[in-house]
Amino acid sequence: MHAERPNAPLRHLTGSRDVYLTFDDGPDEEWTARVLDVLGANSARATFFVIGRAARESTALVRRIVAAGHEIGNHGYSHRHPWTMSSRDAQAEVRNGTDAIAQTAGIAPRLFRPAFGRLRRAMTEEAAQSGQRVVLWSRSAIDWGPFARPERVEARIRSADAGDIVLMHDGRNESNHPAVTADVLPTVLRQFTERKLSMALLPAM
């Protein structure tokens, strides 16, 4: 399905007929719940890269994600920038995120996405030792900061095609605008269905 180098970050799945929706920085009691409602109404699957600390505060929501058939990925414990930590702290960021997800979701995460998409060897090696595949993206909604105007976010998500991994946000961490994403998502998902694109889960290692 894809031709990635062994242990290389997954950015796109060449040969796939599916689109891979991903949501970062949750769980958030308001916006993750709303995104889950939209996904369910459109029979769409997605991967949620959750922050471990937030997962501990929203255990029921994490379990709702799993029960609905979605994937839970590790987005670190506190969303610290990978380049601002010592190697030991970077490893702990991955490990503590793994533990928080395993305890709240009842299953160990199989995927890891570093905060801000910034790679750090200490973190990718720690993720690999835990059996987690590193995942980045090929399309971004840019649903944060001054670029998160609804029509532009919708256009960027809509531009995704088969094999694309789409980055969106369901958490309010930093400058995210999950309300914009939640508002445009129903229209975009219907358009994917009209284009015969299935919204599938990312493969693990």
Known catalytic residues? 24, 169
- The CA distance from 68 to 33, in Å, is 11
Q: Report phi then psi at 87, rounded to 5.
A: -60, -40
- The CA distance from 112 to 114, in Å, is 7
Strand partners, 176: 144
- The CA distance from 25 to 134, in Å, is 16
Burial of 97 (0-12, 13-18, 19+ CB in 10 A): buried
